[in-house]
Amino acid sequence: MLQRPQTIFLVLSALSSLAVYFTPVYDKAMQDPQLWIGYGLATGLVIAIILSIFSIFKYSDRKIQIKWTKVAMLFQLAGIGFAVGILFSLGGIGTYLWDEALGSGLAMLGLCFQGLAIRFIKKDLELVRSIDRIR
């Protein structure tokens, strides 16, 4: 069912990952002479977005939904790694890099939303199991 709490968290995860593209950390990544850093950030986040949205529509099989969300978390972690790497290559965290830190924070927020989605999917699994025991 699409109206479950995990759907909201997966959508929020996709939106926060998408918002990274509109922050200076993405602009700095694409201006880097070593293009693989920017492409790594973009690819990791795009795959995480796609898998989060894909996992929303796997609501009928919750175990598969958990697996796809965990795979999305792996790509989200890769995106976070690239974002934090870009942030530290700019000179660490300082008052002049708050915009870049915001981009890394949004990627981390997406990871938190995916973790919350997994928690609520597991609660649904437990609810279904308890109802099956009652029958």
Q: Which of 84, 78, 89, 88 is nearest to 42 (CA)?
A: 78
Predicted pLDDT of residue 117? 95
Q: What value does the mean pLDDT of the chain take? A: 89
**Rounded to an integer, what is the distance from CA 9 to the centroid of its chain?**
10
Contact in structure between 86 and 9 (CB atoms under 8 Å): no
**pLDDT tens column, 62-101:** 999 999 999 999 999 999 999 988 888 877 666 677 888 8
- CA 75, CA 123: separation in Å to the nearest integer? 24
- Per domain, the residue ranges of the chain are 5-134
Residue 1, C-beta contacts closer than 8 angstroms, at least 6 positions apart: 59
How far apart, in whole angstroms, are the C-alpha atoms of residue 65 and residue 78?
Answer: 20
pLDDT score of 1: 56
* Cβ atoms 74, 112 nearer than 8 A: no
Phi, psi angles (nearest 5°) of residue 90: -85, -10
pLDDT band at 2; cut points 50, 70, 90: low
pLDDT at 96: 73
Question: Per-residue confidence at 32, pLDDT binned at 50, 70, 90?
Answer: confident
Domain 5-134 adopts which CATH fold?
Four Helix Bundle (Hemerythrin (Met), subunit A) (1.20.120)
pLDDT the model gives residue 30: 85
Give residue-wise pLDDT tens across range 34-58: 888 889 999 999 999 999 999 999 9
Percent of the chain at pLDDT > 90 equals 56
Q: What is the pTM for the complete model shown?
A: 0.88
